[in-house]
Amino acid sequence: MLLTLCGSVFLDRLSCSASLGDVVISTEQLVQVAHDAGAAILAVYHADTPMAVEQKSDASPLTEADRRSHQVIVDALAALSPTIAIVSEEDAGAEDTVAPQRGDYWLIDPLDGTKEFIKRTGEFTVNIALVRDGRPIRGVVYAPVLGTTWVTTDGGAERWHGDERRRIHVTRGAPAVPLRLVASRDHAGPQVRALLERLPDASTLSMGSSLKFCLIAEGRADLYYRDGPTMPWDTAAAHAVLAAAGGEVFDTAGAPLRYHSPRRLNAHFVAIGDLHLDWLSLLAPDDADGVQGVFNDPAPVKVH
């Protein structure tokens, strides 16, 4: 598959106006960038020396692996698509830049799940998304320890592991009984804990980083509710994969999550697989911003 970006126009496998400057990137090239970043991370992860951990201004941890992965991705994307802006979590000195990002831009988290990396759980990822006017249109999520990649393709989304490339899709139709939630009963926020109390029979899956979205994209879970702080680079790549697999991510007012200002906190959100699922009825009135029942209609939600 080829990703063709011509100025602000995105076309698959089609030629573009030469006056805008053609940028053509294959899915394999994009995945290779993520894999190269993952290799840089694993070099630190498996090193015999003690892991040095710094603290950023927002109190989140920073390691040498974050820096190395960032540099690998930024250098590769700048070479592959020199006209496309790049926004990374680890951009030095850009913490206070909250202006909207217009047109196309790359949105990356060089190491999503740094806390999991430090704890050596293996549940961390490399996230690379292509965002157009706030909407994630392409994405790759790579879990280096697992050796697994989730990526958007021409016809949807795929899971790559070794030589296997398998098309993935969300679960549709009647939801699994019990409902399969991606949440942690130990670390969930108050609204998520309330949801779990209202659904005592729901099965709960726990997973770190962007892997939560990938569980839904694979049809292994139905819903992920996040009522804590996240940033656009935490979610955009996996959001693109989930949407390509047939799901979507909504804020609690029922609008699709968008990334117009990549350095502003995301709204609280719900990621779902089946677009017919009346997920708003599952939330407490205070959670759903007073719009209970918006999705009671059996028709699927239209996402623009």
Q: So where are the chain's domains?
A: 2-168, 180-282
Q: Write down the pLDDT at residue 9.
A: 33
Q: Write down the pLDDT at residue 193.
A: 85
Contacts of 130 (CB under 8 A, 6+ apart): 3, 5, 84, 104, 105, 106, 107, 136, 137, 138, 139, 240
Q: Write down the pLDDT at residue 159.
A: 98
Contact predicate 141/168, CB 8 Å: no
Question: What pairs with residue 203 in β-bridges?
Answer: 180
- Whether 49 shows a pLDDT value over 90: the answer reads no
Reported as a single tens digit per residue, the pLDDT across 65-93 is 999 999 999 999 999 999 999 999 998 55
CATH of the domain spanning 180-282, picked from 3.30.390.50, 3.40.50.700, 3.40.190.80, 3.40.50.2300:
3.40.190.80
273 φ/ψ angles, rounded to the nearest 5 degrees: -95, -60
| pLDDT greater at residue 211 or residue 175 | 211
Contacts of 163 (CB under 8 A, 6+ apart): none
CA 231 to chain centre: 10
Alpha-carbon distance of 184 to 122, in angstroms, equals: 17
Contact predicate 65/111, CB 8 Å: yes
Contact predicate 204/196, CB 8 Å: yes
Candidates 228, 213, 288, 229; CA nearest to 263 is 229
Contact predicate 107/132, CB 8 Å: no
- What's the whole-number mean pLDDT along residues 17-34? 73
279 φ/ψ angles, rounded to the nearest 5 degrees: -70, -25
Torsion angle of the four alpha carbons 84, 75, 69, 226, in this order, in degrees rounded to the nearest 10:
0
- φ/ψ bin of 7: left (φ > 0), alpha (ψ from -120 to 50), beta (otherwise): left
Quickly name the fold that domain 2-168 has. Fructose-1,6-Bisphosphatase; Chain A, domain 1 (3.30.540)
Percent of the chain whose pLDDT exceeds 90: 61
| 60 band by pLDDT with thresholds 50, 70 and 90 | confident
Reported as a single tens digit per residue, the pLDDT across 208-251 is 889 999 999 999 999 999 998 999 999 999 999 999 999 999 99
- Whether 39 shows a pLDDT value over 80: the answer reads yes
Same CATH fold assignment for domains 2-168 and 180-282: no
| pLDDT greater at residue 188 or residue 214 | 214
pTM: 0.86
- What's the whole-number mean pLDDT along residues 158-186? 85
Q: Write down the pLDDT at residue 18.
A: 24
The least confident of 124-128, 139-143, 254-258, 300-304 is 300-304
